[in-house]
Amino acid sequence: MNARQRYIESLTFGRPDKIPFEPGSGRESTRARWHREGLPPGRDPLEYLAETLEIEVPQSEQTVDPKISFRMIPEFEEQVLEKREGHLIVQDWSGGIVEISDQYDLTYLRSAKDFVTRRWHKFPVETWQDWEQMQKRYDPASPERFPPDFAERCRQLKLRDYPVAINISGPFWQLREWCGLENLCIMMIEQPEFVDSMAAFWTRFVSDVLDRFLDDFCPDRVMIQEDMAYKSHSMISPSMAYRFLMPSYEAWVPRLKQAGCPVLDLDSDGYIGDLIPLWIEAGFNCCSPVEAAAGNDIAAFRRQYGTDMAFRGAIDKRAIAKGEGALEAELQRVIPPLLAEGGFIPGCDHGVPSDVSWPAFVFYGRRLAEMTGWLQPSR
């Protein structure tokens, strides 16, 4: 099997020859530690890990990225507004006013380069007038949403033997980015029509962008990013999720299935046990990263939901850091019960934190490779 076939078979309860090797990856602070402990300078940790284990190197250099943008165009001007006793008050690309440590700069707010604590001072949408202005930044016909050579990329992607995924902000994620979590939750109670308007706009915008490319390129996985749960519960009630989020899912999921996308993935940190039934009803067939620290019991989820839901992740990041004994117990807890039925690609249940040493990561990678069919078991 090639990498694309293996990926799709693994997440659709098929019969892959091996399970994709996806241990997870470290962010900047984690990689800095790894470079001190054995990862050569300038080397990608996953590629070097695969070489160390003498298994197939994950395909990255050969991957053609469709580079489709669902972000605002134009973005807000990034600027430092104030310096304050070891902190910066900044306006980020999304229009938020944010406080961060001065050991970081604005580039850390553009993407998840590292684990950066921030304090929000103001969000770009607080009034109907703010909202009218924000909508102007989301024209689905903006030429910048696609690279100039998009047609050629689509031609090359039709011949791919590796999986390609795209990420889309879900309605909860996107409205929270515009309004802030606390403000959004208050709006859902006090100004539900305002929330309805924003959610309906986002549904139409994403649908319009999808219509502009799905006939030419269909990804193997679409991940809807929501991050809508705390450690023990969802951030909003199921009834709120049905009212404000389900219309988006009901518009997007059938369109993606019609286009032939085999894996529809819902991404949320926190405890997702109360949300999985809603996601299944909406038509999603995969979710991630299934954080162990939030009380998610992936074996119990499998018993409850069977083949209605596949999973990615689920290996407790804390166990990787604790050493071989704790890690082995965690791998045995997670992997055998699910791999027997399929519908699972195991990996770290979030970004690998900096308390995981490079030797610990290599040991974890070796055991993961053994349990997913890439190496002969050593024990």
What is the structure's pLDDT at 378? Answer: 77
- Written as one letter, the residue type at 368 is L
pLDDT tens per residue, range 255-279: 999 999 999 999 999 999 999 999 9
**Residue 377 falls inside a structural domain:** no
Same domain, 103 and 150: no
Place of tokens 């308007």: 197
Q: How many domains does the chain contain in total? A: 2
Place of tokens 């900096």: 354
Confidence of residue 74 (pLDDT cuts 50, 70, 90): very high
What average pLDDT score do residues 192-201 get? 98
- Written as one letter, the residue type at 119 is R
What is the structure's pLDDT at 61? Answer: 47
- 296: phi then psi, degrees, rounded to nearest 5: -75, 125
3-state secondary structure of 230: coil
Closest CA to 103 of 92, 91, 112, 114: 114
- Written as one letter, the residue type at 51 is E
What is the structure's pLDDT at 234? Answer: 95
Same domain, 21 and 105: no
What average pLDDT score do residues 119-140 get? 97
- Written as one letter, the residue type at 50 is A
Closest CA to 315 of 342, 300, 296, 301: 296
Residues with Cβ < 8 Å from 95, sequence gap 6 or more?
76, 123, 124, 134
Same domain, 84 and 201: no
Q: Do residues 369 and 49 make contact, with C-beta atoms less than 8 angstroms apart? A: no
What is the structure's pLDDT at 379? Answer: 64
- In the chain, % of residues over pLDDT 90: 93
Residues with Cβ < 8 Å from 26, sequence gap 6 or more?
33, 34, 45, 351, 352, 353, 354, 356, 361
**Residue 378 falls inside a structural domain:** no
Beta strands in 14-117 (DSSP E): 79-84, 87-91, 97-101
Distance CA 377, CA 379 (A): 6
Same domain, 188 and 336: yes
Q: Do residues 313 and 348 make contact, with C-beta atoms less than 8 angstroms apart? A: yes
Same domain, 222 and 114: no
**Residue 50 falls inside a structural domain:** yes
pLDDT tens per residue, range 302-361: 999 999 999 999 999 999 999 999 999 999 999 998 988 999 999 999 899 999 999 999
Same domain, 15 and 132: yes
Q: Do residues 238 and 278 make contact, with C-beta atoms less than 8 angstroms apart? A: yes
What is the structure's pLDDT at 377? Answer: 85
Same domain, 262 and 348: yes
Which residue, of 85, 100, 123, is where some domain finishes? Answer: 123
Q: Do residues 282 and 242 make contact, with C-beta atoms less than 8 angstroms apart? A: no
Distance CA 249, CA 243 (A): 11
Structural domain that includes position 366: 3-72+125-371
What average pLDDT score do residues 49-68 get? 83
pLDDT tens per residue, range 292-314: 999 999 999 999 999 999 999 99
What is the structure's pLDDT at 57? Answer: 75
Residues with Cβ < 8 Å from 185, sequence gap 6 or more?
235, 236
Confidence of residue 50 (pLDDT cuts 50, 70, 90): very high
Closest CA to 200 of 246, 248, 243, 168: 248
**Residue 376 falls inside a structural domain:** no
Same domain, 221 and 323: yes
pLDDT tens per residue, range 366-379: 999 999 999 998 76
Q: How many CA atoms lie within 13 A of 360 on its CB side?
A: 24
What is the structure's pLDDT at 221? Answer: 97
Same domain, 12 and 151: yes
Upstream peptide bond of 289 is cis (omega within 30 degrees of 0): yes
**Residue 195 falls inside a structural domain:** yes
**Residue 183 falls inside a structural domain:** yes
Q: Do residues 27 and 351 make contact, with C-beta atoms less than 8 angstroms apart? A: yes
What is the structure's pLDDT at 294? Answer: 96
Place of tokens 């993935």: 265
What is the structure's pLDDT at 204? Answer: 98
Same domain, 129 and 67: yes
Same domain, 296 and 335: yes
Q: Do residues 341 and 307 make contact, with C-beta atoms less than 8 angstroms apart? A: yes
What is the structure's pLDDT at 62? Answer: 55
Same domain, 191 and 284: yes
What is the structure's pLDDT at 102? Answer: 95
Q: Exposure pattern of 316-343 as b/e (b: 16+ CB <10 Å)?
A: bbbbbbeeeeebeebbebbbeebbeebb
Q: Has residue 42 got a pLDDT over 70?
A: yes
Closest CA to 346 of 337, 355, 354, 357: 337
> What average pLDDT does the chain have?
95
Q: What is the CATH number of the domain that holds 291?
A: 3.20.20.210
What is the structure's pLDDT at 140? Answer: 98
**Residue 229 falls inside a structural domain:** yes
